[in-house]
Structure 1
Amino acid sequence: MATGSKSVNAAAVVLPLALGQFIASYAATNMNVAISTIAEDIGTTVTGIQTTITLFTLTMAALMIPGSKLTDFLGRKVCFIAGLVIYGSGALLSAFAQGVGVLIVGYSLLEGIGSALLIPPIYILVTVVFEDVDLRAKNFGIVSGAAGLGAAAGPLIGGLVTSYLGWRASFFLQVAVILLIIVLAVRITDPPRTGRPAHFDVGGAILSAAGLFFVVFGILQTSTYGWLKSREDFTVGGTVLIPAGGVSPVWIHVAIGLVILVLFFRHLRRVERAGRTPLFSLRIFRSRASNLGLVTQLLQWLVLQGSFFVTSVFLQQIRGFTAIETGLVLVPATVGVLGSSALAERMSRRHSQRRLIRFGFSATTVGLLLLLALVRADSGIWTFVPGLLLMGIGIGVMLTASVNLVQSSSPEEAQGDISGVSRSVSNLGSSLGTALVGSVLAGAAVPGNGPFAIAMVLLSCLALAGVVTALRIPRQKLH
């Protein structure tokens, strides 16, 4: 009888958390298949929608750490529900958007802020509610699988909804799911915390958000100005600061961001030495396994979002596919993520986390190379299947493994800190993935075979870097 009760309690906790992670990941990819449709409907360009998508993940990345820290003050359940309310409001506003400005406010900002509040409590709650390592790994598998499934199924569901009901219906669908999650979340029991911090590190929150914003915003500007030489004049307030042909202003933004991030880490050290509570403790970086796990999280989400974006643009602009046709072509990736995520618990019992991460990146690299070798502007649909399927399997395998590695490498009192950093790194990867491949496609007159190949080579190299990183993860017995 006790076991049954525990099962019911576990389901009551994990179901709303998994649904919350699913809808946040879905929101990051479902827009890809409707890029052309939305751009035409609201009178903007593909680059404008790309900017909207990138700003969504950028907002999450910039605010994930402050959002995670707020759980120490407001409680995990309160932050989770507050995030859902803000997210749902943004989705509702986006559904009625008549221009790109409103879409940015609703989708990029409100849904991004909501995600930054609701995602960290998901991973903290799984860690603190389930003390048994095997049970925790199982539920991390469910939540991480929901993340991968949401990202992978986003194009298919978004394509179906857009084709039959219109792109606005996709946002109404998100509102409906959010309402369901809120009802389910009321039953979550949040374990009490002891020793709450005396103050919130406002300075640290501002520095971290500003630093991450400038770095990714700079990379996003490559679609306009290029990487090395500026394709057009860079102006501020009507004054030309860098003429066309000069050094790309991309590096100015990135440099500003890096300087701010250096100041941020110095701020953390100073606050910690003064005996106050920083935005997060630098002690979380003492674990080599956790640090390398964070790198793999950044790379896997970069590759996932980048590959989905470039494939979606290629299918719509070169092959002339509709939203639903694009979503159907991406089904093999969805199947791969879903199948491997379903086996996550069984695989974690038989293999170490580092071995699973190595396999995941290896499979993903091979999948990308197959896409590069087989897909052409006039090739058959079957040419997409092997690469997308193998890529989906690889990503599904390593998503759960890397989250479990990072979260379980830190003690309970550091879960708020590591969860925020972990989710911020993952969403930073998502932002960079869309920005990097988007800049490659935007730099070409027509995103055909050549630009598509360049983008795939770039993503393959980054996936290979993930393999190298995973090989360096030490053997470690998780907490």
Structure 2
Amino acid sequence: MSVTDARGAGALPAPAVLTPRLRLVLVVLLAAQFMLAVDFSILNVALPVIGAGLGFPLARLQWVATSFALCAAGFTLLFGRVADLFGRRRLFLGGLVVLGVASLVGGLARNPEMLLTARVFQGLATAAVTPAGLSLLTISFPEGPLREKALGLNGALMSAGFTAGAVLGGLLTDLLSWRWAFFVNVPVVVAVLLVAPRVIAESRPAGRTRLDVPGAVSVTLGLLALVFGLTRAGERGWGSAAALVPMAAGAVLLLVFLAVERRVPAPLVPLGVLRKPSVIWGNAAGLIAFLTETSLVFLMTLYLQEVPRFSPLAAGLSFGVLGIGTVLGGSYAPKVIGAVGARAALIVGGMAQAVATGALLGLGEGRAWLWLVLVATFAGGVGNMLVIVGFMVTATSRLADREQGLATGLATMTQQVGITLGTPVMSAVATAAMTGSGAAAVLGGIRTAVAVNAALVLLGVLLAALFLRGDRRAPRSG
């Protein structure tokens, strides 16, 4: 079954209500996106146990997370365009197969090399499935209230999945084994693969298509080098050669990519799309939203364990309140956007997140300050989700169906890069600000990083206010 591109002749009529079939489509796609979000954080708590079990040297242990994040961020734009050209459902299902096999291999790993290989393929699968699934979501639901509701639920479950991954990883590691952090993906993948082909229609152009190979190679290598360099900066310092060399190489490769796109007849990323304010500034706001909220989870985890000395499991469970906030924010975001527009939702949500983050500057050394962490992360989670859903709606609106894979690929790249960079960047800020030793020094470094975090959120609000138009919706272009 195929859907003609860009609502041309033979296109299926846009549904006006959430039919039973659309509900099933939504469940299938959201289940896959939730699983991918869980994968980002499920191994964080288990890293020391994995290191001891497989003989990972401490210096290499971070590559369990970094190898996944590099591939997820570096290849997502390429796969978003591949989905546009060769079939979104095809890439979605193929990526799920790779994810299931990689998860099984990771759970059965007997040495570091086997585990890292599994993580690389999990990252590649994430880079394929996330933009393909998101573009299937935007194609299946017409621009307007139905799409806003679907994107709201997607954003809520995505953020809840990131939080749930930390809690689930700790529970599985304590009660069963770290291997179940991999195995848990397999039954979900099988269930989605059984249902998805029956309810999700294929969507691809009707004519012959060509892939911009020079553009694909340059942008993928550029993103890999840039993300790698920024990750190394969080570990080695911003002035180290280990960080500066790959970042410089990444910048050069991305400039090469832009030069290629100006010349090829069928560019990977049409520069006209990048010139759209909704794409540029929507993604800028989204990058800041993901970077700040995911890194705040790291900062509060560090605070709870190093200052009032809560256990890792207690610290992880405390972020269940943040998860509730994100689910509520994602549920109400479509109503807010419908009432005041995506731009206003970005501004209101960002202000709420900034105020909640700034309140954490009042944290002290005693356990009694847990209440402030819970209240602030809950309120910040609601605000952050308004920003994320507003970003998704903004960055995928006013575009033709044939550009949805590209738009969702850009949005997914923004998401992956923000999540990847948040922790190393804020870790570097907090570490640089720590003077002396002990809980007071750690608290001082965390306060500095929290202040930087809140300032970045306010920057996102300013960008949305200055550069995004206030109109709520526009008809889809062909």
TM-score, scaled to structure 2 = 0.88
Q: In the alignment, what sits opposite 1:157?
A: 168
Select 1:450's aligned residue among 434, 444, 450.
444
1:147 corresponding residue in structure 2: 158
Cα distance, 1:268 vs structure 2: 0.9
Q: 1-side partners of 2:18 and 2:72: how far apart? A: 33
Within 5 A, what are the aligned runs for 1:261-410? 261-271=254-264, 276-316=265-305, 321-376=310-365, 380-410=369-399
* 2:19 pairs with 1:7: yes
The aligned counterpart of 1:118 is 129
Distance 1:6-1:301 versus aligned 2 partners, 3 A rule:
closer
| 1:47 to partner: Cα distance | 6.1
CA distance 1:192–1:422, change in 2 (3 Å): closer
Letter in 1 for 2:73: A
Q: Residues of 2 paired with 1:466 and 1:74: CA distance?
A: 35
What residue in structure 2 maps to residue 87 of structure 1? 99
Amino acid at match of 2:192: I
Letter in 1 for 2:469: P
How far off its partner does 1:336 sit?
0.5
- Residues 1:7 and 1:425: Cα distance change in structure 2 (over 3 Å): same
Q: Deviations over 1:94-118 (max 9, x none)?
A: 22334444332212x1111001111
Matched residues in 2 for 1:197 and 1:442: separation?
A: 53
Alpha-carbon deviation of 1:344? Answer: 2.3
Kindly tell me: are residues 224 and 289 of structure 1, through their superposed partners in 2, closer, same or farther at Cα, counting changes over 3 Å? closer
Out of 185, 190, 195, the residue aligned to residue 201 of structure 2 is 190
CA pair 309-37 structure 1, distance change in 2 beyond 3 A: farther
What is the distance in 1 between the residues matched to 2:371 and 2:194?
42
CA drift at 1:259:
0.8
SS in 1 for 2:210: coil
Determine which of 249, 254, 260 is the counterpart of 2:247.
254
- Distance, in Å, in 2 between the alignment partners of 1:434 and 1:6 is 38
Residue type of the alignment partner of 1:267: V
Do 2:363 and 2:369's aligned partners in 1 also have CA atoms closer than 8 Å?
A: no
Range with bigger deviation, 367-376 or 64-73: 367-376
Q: Give the structure 1 partner of residue 8 of structure 2.
A: none
| Distance in 2, Cα, partners of 1:169 & 1:79 | 26
d(CA) in 1 for partners of 2:16, 2:430: 53
In structure 1, what is the Cα distance between the partners aligned to 2:335 and 2:461? 22
- Displacement after TM superposition at 1:31 (Å): 2.7
Q: Choose the corresponding residue for 2:187, options 176, 194, 204.
A: 176
Q: For residues 392-433 of structure 1, what are the alpha-carbon distances to aligned partners after superposition, in whole Å with 9 as ceiling and x for unaligned?
A: 111122221110111113122211221211211221111111
Judge conservation of contact 2:30–2:157 (CA < 8 Å) in 1.
Answer: yes
Segments of structure 1 that go 5 or more residues without pairing to the other structure are 231-247
Give 2:74's aligned amino acid: A
Instruction: Look up the match of 2:470.
Output: 475
- CA drift of 1:46 comes to 6.6
1:133 pairs with one of 141, 144, 159: 144
Higher mean C-alpha displacement, 303-312 vs 414-423: 303-312
Aligned equivalent of 1:166, options 177, 183, 186 = 177
Whole-Å separation in 2 of the counterparts to 1:45 and 1:455: 29
Question: Identity rate of aligned residues, in percent?
Answer: 25
Distance 1:363 1:34, change over 3 A: farther
Q: Distance in 2 between matches of 1:318 and 1:197?
A: 60
Deviates more, 1:209-218 or 1:445-454: 445-454
Q: 2:4 is matched with which residue?
A: none
CA distance in 1, matches of 2:425, 2:57: 18
Amino acid at match of 1:469: L
Aligned to 1:460: 454
Change (3 A) 1:49 1:401: farther
Q: CA deviation at 1:318?
A: 5.4
Question: Residues 141 and 352 from structure 1, CA distance in 2 versus in 1: closer, same or farther, beyond 3 angstroms?
Answer: same
Question: Are 1:411 and 2:400 an aligned pair?
Answer: yes
Structure 2 residue 59 is matched with structure 1 residue 59: no
Once the two structures are TM-superposed, the CA of residue 300 in structure 1 deviates from its matched residue by 0.9
Contact 1:13 1:187 in 2 (8 A): no
Shift of 1:290: 2.4
| CA RMSD in angstroms, aligned pairs only | 2.6
1:441 deviates by 5.6
TM-score between both structures, scaled by the size of structure 1: 0.87
Please name the residue that 2:7 is paired with.
Answer: none
Matches within 5 A, 1:201-280: 201-228=212-239, 230=240, 248-271=241-264, 276-280=265-269
Q: Quick one: structure 1 residues 140 and 387, their matched pair in 2 at CA, closer, same or farther if it must change by over 3 Å?
A: same
Contact 2:156 2:328 in 1 (8 A): no
